[in-house]
Amino acid sequence: MTEDEIGKQIVDVAVQVHRELGPGLLESVYEVILAHELLGRGLQVRRQVPVAIEYRGVRFEDAFRADLIIGGKVIVEIKSVERVSNAHKKQLLTYLRLTDMRLGYLLNFGEALMKHGITRTANRLAEET
């Protein structure tokens, strides 16, 4: 399955879950339910994935944790806030760059309508390699 096909599944599930549960629950609740629903669609899902990075010879084993990695190709960062900030968007782009993944989704379940809470981010550097 391509990144874009995985992305369509992620968006579909996020809208469905938001429609059924509504906004305002803890991020961890949405994370568990998204993982469950995506697994039910036959996708490989990893939760709270520790990611190591190396900087000038210094290795950080647990530099950050990706909320979800789907199919080994797409990172999902989950928020449940009133409004997503530019810092949240930059965080996802940094995660994509450091993992050399091409596609990520920032899902904010705090929005009244899920369509306003979905930010798709592409790592252009990964596309060039």
Task: Return the domain boundaries, the chain.
Answer: 3-128
Residue 124 is predicted with a pLDDT of 79
Which of 100, 110, 39 is closest to 73 using CA atoms? 100
pLDDT digits (tens, 9 = 90+) for 1-55: 999 999 999 999 999 999 999 998 999 999 999 999 999 999 999 999 999 998 9
**CATH classification number, 3-128, choose in 3.40.1350, 3.30.310, 3.30.1560, 1.10.3470:** 3.40.1350
Q: In what helix (H) or strand (E) does residue 54 lie, and over which residues does it extend?
A: strand 45-55
Which of 90, 118, 126 is closest to 34 using CA atoms? 118
Residue 129 is predicted with a pLDDT of 46
Pairing mode of beta strands 58-70, 45-55: antiparallel
pLDDT at residue 82 tops 70: yes
pLDDT digits (tens, 9 = 90+) for 89-114: 999 999 999 999 999 999 999 999 99
Global confidence as pTM: 0.92
Residue 34 is predicted with a pLDDT of 98
